[in-house]
Amino acid sequence: MRRLLDFRSKKSKTKTFSNPSVSSASAEPAGAVAQGLQVVAEGTNPTVDIVAVHGLNGHCEKTWTTSDGVNWLRDLLPGDLPNARVLSWGYDANTHSCSRVSCQYLFDHARTLVSDLCLERQTTQTAKRPIIFVAHSLGGIIVKSALIHSDAARRGALEEHRSIKLSTYGVMFMGTPHQGGSGVALGKLMVNIASVFVAADNRLLQHLERDSEWLQQQLGQYGPISGDFVTKFAFEEYPTPTALGKSIMVVPRASAVVPGAVNGEPIAIHADHINMVKFGSKSDPGYKTVSGHMRLMAGNAGDTIGGRWDTEAKVNAVHSNEPIKTFTVQSSVSEVLRVQHFVGREDDIVKICEALQYDGLRKTAVVHGLGGMGKTQLALAYAQRHREEYSAVFWVNIKDVDTLKQGYAAAAKRISRDHPSLVQLRAVAEGSDLDEAIEVLPGRNDTGTFDIRPFLPEVDHGTILITTRSSQLELGSPVAVKKLQKIEHSLEILSHTSRRDGLSSDPYARELAETLDGLPLALATAGAYLHLLGSFSFAEYLRLYKASWFRLQQDTPQLLSYEDRALYTTWGVSLDHVKKQSELAAKLLQLWAYFDNQDVWFELLQECQQDGPDWFSELMQD
């Protein structure tokens, strides 16, 4: 594990008070202040950086650790976000004595945070990787200050610091005082935070209270850039004991949530100010909330940040009067629903890489396999991991001729949006910069229903990746996608989608994994059902599955393959549950089965309200 830490040893001079709300795991070890950037988890093929910043009197490890030693950044999050590198940053914000308070205050700490992150990301060649910050208490003010500083960086003035703001996709503020509320000044809220740890003002407390108005003005610079980030405002729901024994709401909701913030959302954490960032297990409601939002952010960050860097390059080229050296188009894979936890397909990724290895000619790979095998997710995973190798990524559906034409029209619109200059496009076309474009063509059924070859680019460069159920498509290098071979991979999908641990020791979970026979979509469907019904056991699900299988055998004997029957059976279990909850909802689902999954609009159904069946009219009235 890489560590960039500095431990400073000094003697404490001021009497402090123990806080019963602060566990021994969170107490500062005598004589040591952990500073700098610590890599908590390297991640597997990481595509995003999670950066944790503690608050006043915090610690880069202990702030996030429960009394029984569970550090959720290290012990829980990597299992739910395996493609994330998790980092924790520490700084000297100790209130226990005057001699221990750093002479660097909040804005100095912010600049140090930016500098440390730049150094780590440059030395690991990850300067453009998306960032998600999670900041506790006053750590949130440091993050805001860091982003203000980064946004102000320009050529000739620490230009490399600008990369942090450009790469930041989201921020999770955990109990951060953004503003005074209900007549309480911002400085008073900061003193509230400090009072949890120390009973008397010292230099840091005096600084915070005296200069709070100036601080508020400085943070006002954050407003114009805040809309560039997806933001979650977490607020505490329980009072926190202070050093003198009195319990207070340290940062109430009115101060922790910025009303009307663009891309902002308030979230409640059922804990006090200290324990709102300590989670002992994956079943902790706070952890479910925080990790869930992080997974959503991580899933969407890549394309947004990639587009932001592309725009930055174009703006810099215009300002410097230089020709654009590289042609890039924002990826379209962000519009495609993808799983957040990719399991057991590393060998298939390698096969695709080998098939598409560039040698100066156009390369085509055809990923084929039965329905539900994960072909689309495999193509998405390849496109996401290798995004930096391509000038453009186009995702075009080849379900039928009309859909294919619509996909190409959308790609043309995306190109014209990113490059409105016809002269520039001609210059690129005449050059050699398009030799690294990739076109992903996902197919639903047998592509033999029409010949797609006339629709493929007639050039000797670029890459085409096709997914199809047909093994007869003779267009390029075939990559066969088969069932998951290892039961551990099946259990991993079940564990992730059901949000349950310890499945390897559950005989019913293993039986279900074996019954579903390594089919990723069937495993994910079963896991989602178990997650929805949290108290439902694997044994109970197996009973429902077997009953649904028997009915399918009786009602639909034409489903010959075991794989199709397994998948339809899991859908049947879910549909039965929907029927119990709402007969109308079940009928609507059955109606949806006849529609395409992309363009269904309300007016299409509204027109049928008068002539449709009674249940449909009732549904439309609701």
The first and second tokens of residue 285, run together, are: 């409601």
pLDDT value of residue 407: 78
The answer, yes or no, to whether residue 34 has pLDDT greater than 70, is yes
- The confidence score (pLDDT) of residue 200 equals 42
- Whether the per-residue pLDDT at 191 is higher than 70: the answer is no
Q: Which of 138, 117, 112, 110 is nearest to 54 (CA)?
A: 138
Which range in 393-402, 410-419, 425-434 is most confidently predicted, on average pLDDT? 393-402
Nearest to 451, CA basis, from 475, 469, 471? 475
Query: Looking at residue 94, what is its pLDDT?
Result: 64
Which pLDDT score, from 0 to 100, does residue 224 have?
A: 87
Is the predicted pLDDT of residue 132 greater than 90, yes or no? Answer: yes
CB 54 within 8 A of CB 139: yes
pLDDT at res. 27 = 41
* Chain segment 436-471, per-residue pLDDT in tens: 555 666 654 554 467 777 887 776 677 888 888 877
d(CA 90, CA 6): 9
The answer on pLDDT for 566 being more than 80 is: yes
User: Which residues are 3's β-sheet partners?
Assistant: 38
Helix (H) or strand (E) holding 85: strand 84-90
Is 56's pLDDT higher than 80? Answer: no
Give the confidence band of 353 by pLDDT, cuts at 50, 70, 90. confident
pLDDT tens per residue across span 114-127: 999 999 999 999 99
Helix axes 186-195, 203-210, angle to 10 degrees: 160
Q: Which residue has the tokens 């269904």?
A: 600
d(CA 100, CA 35): 13
Q: Please, what are the domains in the chain? A: 17-299 (3.40.50.1820), 325-480 (3.40.50.300), 487-621 (no CATH)
Predicted local distance difference test score (pLDDT) of residue 140: 92
CB 92 within 8 A of CB 25: no
- How many DSSP H helices and E strands does the chain contain? 23, 15
Within 13 Å, how many C-alpha atoms sit on residue 84's CB side? 31
Query: Buried b / exposed e across 384-415, counting CB within 10 Å, b at 16+?
Result: bbbbeebbbbbbbbbbbeebbeebeebbeebb
pLDDT over 90 percentage in the chain: 27
Q: Is residue 23's pLDDT more than 50?
A: no
CB 90 within 8 A of CB 51: no
Question: Quick one: pLDDT at residue 184?
Answer: 47
Q: If you average pLDDT over each of 153-162, 282-291, 322-331, 477-486, which comes out highest?
A: 282-291
